[in-house]
């Protein structure tokens, strides 16, 4: 097929025809707890505008979560990958949490759900208002029967005067939580409004505040999800966590080495890139479970160029590539997103994503993926 290169020139690409070798099923994952942060599927037939709440296709959205559970992965629901704050509002996220948690109970899947403060409108908010918003969402998640992930809050980043405000607010939330939660540190590359989270733009200072919060309430912290795209910093943080507190890597650039770990420990995973990579990720972790580290790397290392491409700057638009790959893989019937975000990446970027995914044998039906990619190229005016 004819595809546009990143410099705008056209070139020929011959699809590999290589089909996904990994299959659903197999023993439960044993050595690592692996969450895939899942995207939502919208209904493109509904008449909505980018600044309105999306019309969610609930059947397709829940079917994709069943796909993740069938692979053996856990689902991280209503997170950044589901377009929280970038198309999905709190009423939509609330319904998503409730529906997905009910589906998890029905099929025996593991799920954790994001609790944040995105019901607060634009503008300044007091710390009391931020705390109340967190408490409302924490209550919704716990009532659904899911584990809570305390997401980083734009409103808190704007309202906090320093580290002490984070310590006090998170301490209050942890005391109220009925079950241990996952704390989420999302870097500004994913959301620029989170710059200076934990009270400082200096990451060393922020890390100390983060660790202080955990140390005061280790029994209320299941783990921490770190999305800073800095493997060395994650390892250093991981080694300082209290016993029993997991580190879930959110590093979509260095996940193979962080999950494999070293003689002093390893990271579990909570990753947006495992939405498209679910079958390969599950098979790789099963290799680790049986001591086959080389097989683990053989499966996951070749996916890193695709992940780095999907998450290239502006990193927050990685969701576009995730949904593209879901469409090409046959998990949904269209390439449309909440807020019209399918337009957030260029055609050359999308074409390169297809090429990299094809090269690692990601598509269950390579012919379907090729046909759909050709149709997208045609819509953009690239003759086939």
| pLDDT score at 341 | 96
* pLDDT (tens digit per residue) in 311-354: 999 999 999 999 999 999 999 999 999 999 999 999 999 999 99
| Contact call for residues 201 and 227 (beta carbons, < 8 A) | no
| pLDDT score at 50 | 86
Radius of gyration of the chain (CA): 20
| Contact call for residues 108 and 65 (beta carbons, < 8 A) | no
Q: Among candidates 69, 66, 72, 67, which has minimal Cα distance to 30?
A: 72
* pLDDT (tens digit per residue) in 117-136: 999 988 899 999 999 999 99
Would you place residue 23 in the very low, low, confident or very high pLDDT band (cuts 50, 70, 90)?
A: confident
Task: Enumerate long-range contacts of 264-267, CB under 8 Å, 24 or more apart.
Answer: 264/239, 265/238, 265/239, 266/32, 267/234, 267/238
| Contact call for residues 102 and 79 (beta carbons, < 8 A) | no
pLDDT at 58 over 90: yes
| pLDDT score at 299 | 97
pLDDT at 47 over 80: yes
In the block, tokens 């980018």 appear at 50
Would you place residue 51 in the very low, low, confident or very high pLDDT band (cuts 50, 70, 90)?
A: confident
Would you place residue 85 in the very low, low, confident or very high pLDDT band (cuts 50, 70, 90)?
A: confident
Q: What is the mean pLDDT of the chain?
A: 96
What proportion of the chain, given as a percentage, has pLDDT over 90?
93
Task: Give the C-alpha separation, 247 to 233, whole Å.
Answer: 12
| pLDDT score at 26 | 84
pLDDT at 24 over 80: no
| pLDDT score at 8 | 87
* pLDDT (tens digit per residue) in 171-183: 999 999 999 999 9
| Contact call for residues 327 and 320 (beta carbons, < 8 A) | no
Comparing 7 with 163, the larger pLDDT belongs to 163
| pLDDT score at 332 | 98
- Residue ranges of the alpha helices (H) in 177-227? 203-216
| pLDDT score at 172 | 97
* pLDDT (tens digit per residue) in 278-297: 999 999 999 999 999 999 99
Coil, strand or helix at 61? helix
| pLDDT score at 122 | 84
Comparing 8 with 215, the larger pLDDT belongs to 215
| pLDDT score at 384 | 80
* pLDDT (tens digit per residue) in 237-248: 999 999 999 999
| pLDDT score at 128 | 97
Comparing 351 with 8, the larger pLDDT belongs to 351
């Amino acid at each position: 097929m004819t595809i546009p290169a990143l410099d705008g020139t056209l070139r020929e690409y011959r699809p590999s025809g290589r089909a996904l070798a990994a299959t659903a099923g197999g023993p439960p994952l044993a050595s690592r707890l692996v969450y895939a942060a899942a995207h939502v599927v919208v209904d493109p037939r509904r008449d909505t505008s980018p600044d309105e709440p999306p019309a969610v296709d609930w059947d397709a959205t829940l079917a994709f979560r069943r796909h993740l559970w069938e692979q053996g992965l856990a689902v991280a629901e209503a997170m950044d990958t589901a377009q929280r704050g970038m198309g999905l509002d709190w009423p939509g996220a609330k319904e998503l949490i409730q529906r997905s948690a009910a589906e998890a109970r029905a099929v025996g899947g593991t799920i954790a759900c994001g609790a944040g403060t995105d019901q607060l409108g634009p503008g300044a908010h007091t710390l009391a208002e931020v705390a109340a918003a967190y408490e409302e969402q924490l209550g919704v998640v716990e009532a659904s029967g899911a584990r809570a992930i305390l997401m980083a809050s734009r409103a808190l980043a704007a309202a906090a005067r320093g580290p002490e405000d984070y310590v006090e607010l998170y301490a209050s939330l942890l005391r109220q939580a009925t079950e241990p939660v996952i704390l989420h540190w999302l870097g500004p590359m994913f959301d620029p409004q989170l710059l200076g989270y934990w009270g400082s733009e200096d990451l060393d200072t922020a890390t100390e505040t983060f660790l202080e919060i955990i140390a005061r309430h280790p029994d209320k912290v299941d783990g921490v999800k770190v999305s800073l795209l800095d493997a060395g910093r994650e390892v250093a943080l991981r080694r300082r966590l209290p016993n029993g507190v997991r580190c879930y890597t959110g590093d979509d650039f260095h996940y193979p080495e962080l999950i494999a770990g070293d003689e002093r420990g390893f990271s579990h995973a909570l990753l947006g890139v495992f939405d498209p990579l679910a079958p390969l990720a599950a098979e790789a972790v099963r290799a680790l479970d049986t001591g086959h580290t080389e097989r683990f790397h053989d499966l996951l290392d070749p996916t890193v160029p695709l992940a780095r491409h999907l998450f290239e700057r502006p990193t927050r638009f990685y969701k576009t590539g995730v949904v593209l790959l879901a469409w090409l893989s046959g998990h949904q019937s269209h390439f449309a997103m909440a807020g019209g975000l399918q337009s957030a990446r260029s055609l050359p970027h999308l074409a390169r994503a297809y090429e990299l995914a094809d090269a690692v044998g990601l598509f269950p039906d390579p012919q379907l993926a090729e046909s759909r990619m050709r149709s997208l190229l045609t819509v953009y005016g690239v003759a086939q």
